[in-house]
Amino acid sequence: MQVSERVKGIAASQSLAMAARAKAMQAAGVDVISMSLGEPDMETPEHIRRAAQEAIDKGWTHYGPVAGIASLREAVAAAQNANCRLQIEDCKFEAADVIVSVGAKMAIYNAIQTVVNPGDEVVIPMPSWVSYTEMVKVAGGKVVAIQTKYENRYCLTADELREALTEKTKMLILCSPNNPTGSVYSHSQLEALVEVLRAYPEVVVLSDEIYDALVYEGAACSMAEFGELAERLVIVNGVSKAYAMTGWRIGWLMSKNKAFIEACARLQGQQVTCATMVAQKAAEAALTGSQDCVEQMRQVFAERRELICKLAAEIPGWKFEKPQGAFYLFPDVSALGGGDKVAEYLLEEAHVAVVSGSAFGSPECIRLSYAISTEEIMEAMRRIKMAIEKLK
Q: Which of 74, 97, 121, 208 binds ligand PLP (CB under 6 A)?
A: 208
Tell me the closest approach of the beta carbon of residue 38 to ligand PLP, in angstroms.
Answer: 4
Tell me: does residue 125 bind ligand PLP (CB under 6 A).
no
Tell me: does residue 38 bind ligand PLP (CB under 6 A).
yes
d(CA 360, CA 119): 22
Nearest to 38 by CA among 375, 323, 334, 384: 323
Tell me: does residue 189 bind ligand PLP (CB under 6 A).
no
Angle between the 70-83 and 277-288 helix axes, to the nearest 10 degrees?
Answer: 30
- Residue 117: CB atoms within 10 A of its CB come to 9
Tell me the closest approach of the beta carbon of residue 336 to ligand PLP, in angstroms.
Answer: 25
Nearest to 371 by CA among 25, 32, 6, 34: 34
Q: Which of 84, 203, 210, 381 binds ligand PLP (CB under 6 A)?
A: 210
Burial of 295 (0-12, 13-18, 19+ CB in 10 A): exposed
Tell me: does residue 129 bind ligand PLP (CB under 6 A).
yes
Nearest to 114 by CA among 230, 251, 271, 219: 271
Subset of residues 308 to 367 that bind ligand PLP, contact rule: CB under 6 A = none
Q: Binding segment for ligand PLP among 97-105, 118-126, 316-324, 334-342 (CB under 6 A)?
A: 97-105
What's the one-letter identity of residue 271? Q
Tell me the closest approach of the beta carbon of residue 134 to ligand PLP, in angstroms.
Answer: 13
Q: Which of 34, 113, 148, 240 binds ligand PLP (CB under 6 A)?
A: 240
Between residues 124 and 144, which has the closer beta carbon with respect to ligand PLP? 124
Tell me the closest approach of the beta carbon of residue 253 to ligand PLP, in angstroms.
Answer: 11
Tell me: does residue 213 bind ligand PLP (CB under 6 A).
no
Query: Do residues 115 and 94 make contact, with C-beta atoms less than 8 angstroms apart?
Result: no
Rounded to 10 degrees, the C-alpha dihedral 276/282/284/288 comes to: -170
Tell me the closest approach of the beta carbon of residue 251 to ligand PLP, in angstroms.
Answer: 4
Tell me: does residue 251 bind ligand PLP (CB under 6 A).
yes
Count helices and strands in the chain by DSSP H and E runs: 13, 12
Tell me the closest approach of the beta carbon of residue 198 to ligand PLP, in angstroms.
Answer: 26
Contacts with ligand PLP by CB under 6 A lie at 38, 103-105, 129, 175, 179, 208, 210, 238, 240, 246, 251
